[in-house]
Structure 1
């Protein structure tokens, strides 16, 4: 199970690589378009601001290779900011996203008793069956750190929702392109389950 982990300057690569190794996978940290083009599976991590992430991908010539990779149906998983970069745009910035899953990300609404960012442990509720969710128990817990959340254009792209003041989309998928708003590499057995399923696709 070989997984290419994209290093474009934003992301907790060490934790992701270590978790994949614990699963018996063979993670390869990649940085170039050529490496993306030959990958079997691609993991797009990310922390920080939307525009910064897209600017780094653009400056390193990675946008077109990622889009081609996704168009070929190969498994692609975006994590945290990486999930939001899969969308068309974000209210956080002005740059266009990768446009792999129609939609945009918006900021959590300010409301009493709900602090932004959403930080800490929370559960996901699946809306449909999917191989990415195989063996994931109903009583799951994942670690989140984010101020923005995805609004896919198509309801069919939503895999799971999570509630933080209001329900929001926590996992998305269209064909081989997938996203998780939480950090599976920090989410113990539940995160390992999601990553194991991804490696099996």
Structure 2
């Protein structure tokens, strides 16, 4: 074996590392405010580096999205598992905190909102972390319902409905009324917690089947 092939990669020069950090920082800002429908050239301009510099570090926009978003979705999955664990002793506080955290992430990062709703084009790690967060949220909902804190008609897929609705709120009103997501969340939490006077329209059969299949497959937490 060629000994050169096993050598650790050389660290970037100080100026190259500064450029890489500037590109990632700029990409975080651009993706958060504009989503992922941008160009590497645009990110380079925001970062204050040349187009050649950004292409030496990242061959495509997808490569840059991967670096920026994978750490964020891992933190999101960790937070979801923490909420499921908290629900054992503080069911409503755990659910309320989880819902508002999800809505806030959407409101402050359009790229995150896009990818969490349509992760098919994302990396395998991103999709895996989405699955980890989903497993945890299923357990969270079960624990909160068992504690009698959610209306009996609530279905786990209602969280997916909530995320889609909030995506519209953020897109339509985020620039002029950036805190609207919080009011929307307050309204929905009250609706989820109280029975109301009339029955709800049943949730989507496709979503309920998907949630049930996920719950039966490999839940992250022991249900005992």
| TM band (smaller chain) | under 0.3
Determine which structure has the larger helix proportion and give its number: 2
Determine which structure has the larger strand proportion and give its number: 1
Bigger Rg, structure 1 or 2: 2
